[in-house]
Amino acid sequence: MNRSAVPPPVTAVMDVASAWLPERMSEVERRLAEIATAHGPELGVEAAATLDAGGKRMRPLLVLICAGDRSEERAIRAAVATELIHMATLVHDDVLDGAPVRRGRPTVVARAGRERAVGVGDLLLSRAFAELAASGDEAEVRELSSAAVALARGELAQRHDACDTSISEERYLHRCSLKTARLFESACRVGRLSAGGPGAEELAGFGREIGLAFQLLDDVLDITGPPERTGKARGTDLKDGTVTLPLILALRKDPSLAEVSLAALDAAEAERACDRIAATGVLDEVRERARGGIESAKRRLEGEHFSDAERSLLALIADGMVERYS
């Protein structure tokens, strides 16, 4: 695979993995490119640009590692399907947010408009399920369709809560479970299912916990930036009216933050609000929670179902999530 496009946690995993993993990841990448360009210029150009914009490919990597070195075609299809679902949700998310950039590049909606972006997202989602259908495994279709439902429910819950600074930590965590953790959980479970091995539920729990940690850290990064690393402006969540854990905790320490009117923030005001949240000291608290989640996730793999090689690859991915952001 093209290593220049691959982020550090993934290259670290590739460096220690045996040849089977990079080979299968390359095959996943090749199929993603083929799918993106298979639908004519109308949709193909934008779908291919979405794919080219990179991304961490954490989810397909988890599918393949959880499937193991003896897995074959089904695992590759499940990995492709999982990444396509992820890409579809990001394209749709950017439509809903009217987001100008993602991963440092113009979004599909910014380049091609709402109609085309909705179509590209629909295409990617449909192709995901076509991949699974080709494998013909009902449990895999069930797993990833319930993950897609969770993603949509998470997005709707986030819209429902927009600009509501009174939402509880539990509600925020519930939203994160639906919006982010569920697809990580499903990536791990579907990987194991595709190979028919034991330990699927332990792996699902591992995925859920690292997914939640990933979202917590993502929400910290929205406050800290810098935009050169995050690919988007600081305070984007606040400007979108998304109340995240840093703000929920900061409000307890500095109740005057409640006067910030999220619905009406411009870019400079959003940055100032980020500085005020950071000044309360809550970001370390959120980072610490995320680290705790990563450690707890790794402990789920202590049982007999896992080889040392599997444990160390999964631990690298889990640790890489935290290191990327520290």
Q: Which residues bind ligand FPP (CB under 6 A)?
A: 85, 88-89, 92-93, 96, 121, 125, 148, 151-152, 154-155, 179-180
Smallest distance, Mg ion to C-beta of residue 305, A:
35
Q: Which is nearer to Mg ion, 14 or 124 (CB)?
A: 124
Q: How far is CA 159 from CA 93, 179, 241, 243, 289, in A?
A: 11, 12, 9, 10, 25
Q: Which is nearer to ligand FPP, 9 or 154 (CB)?
A: 154
Q: Which is nearer to ligand FPP, 85 or 190 (CB)?
A: 85
Block residue for tokens 């797993």: 143
Q: Are 144 and 83 in contact (CB under 8 A)?
A: no
- The residues binding Mg ion (CB under 5 A) are 93, 97
Q: Is 110 helix (H, G, I), strand (E, B) or coil?
A: helix
Q: Which does 47 bind (CB under 5 to 8 A by kind): ligand FPP, Mg ion, none?
A: none
Smallest distance, Mg ion to C-beta of residue 43, A:
22
The C-alpha atoms of residue 254 and residue 95 are separated, in whole angstroms, by 33
Q: Which is nearer to Mg ion, 176 or 301 (CB)?
A: 176
Q: Which does 278 bind (CB under 5 to 8 A by kind): ligand FPP, Mg ion, none?
A: none
Q: Which is nearer to ligand FPP, 24 or 102 (CB)?
A: 102
The C-alpha atoms of residue 301 and residue 310 are separated, in whole angstroms, by 9
Smallest distance, ligand FPP to C-beta of residue 233, A:
10
Smallest distance, ligand FPP to C-beta of residue 319, A:
21
Q: Are 213 and 297 in contact (CB under 8 A)?
A: yes
Q: Are 298 and 312 in contact (CB under 8 A)?
A: no
**How many helices (H) does the chain have, and how many strands (E)?**
17, 2
Q: Which does 125 bind (CB under 5 to 8 A by kind): Mg ion, ligand FPP, none?
A: ligand FPP
Q: Which does 163 bind (CB under 5 to 8 A by kind): ligand FPP, Mg ion, none?
A: none
Q: Are 6 and 322 in contact (CB under 8 A)?
A: no
The C-alpha atoms of residue 164 and residue 157 are separated, in whole angstroms, by 12
Q: Which is nearer to ligand FPP, 216 or 301 (CB)?
A: 216
Q: Which does 88 bind (CB under 5 to 8 A by kind): ligand FPP, Mg ion, none?
A: ligand FPP
- With CB atoms as reference, the residue minimizing the distance to ligand FPP is 155
Q: Which does 180 bind (CB under 5 to 8 A by kind): Mg ion, ligand FPP, none?
A: ligand FPP
Report which secondary-structure segment, H or E, holds 102. strand 101-102
Q: Which two tokens stand for residue 303?
A: 């049982």
**Interstrand relation of 101-102 and 105-106 (parallel, antiparallel or unpaired):** antiparallel
Smallest distance, ligand FPP to C-beta of residue 123, A:
11
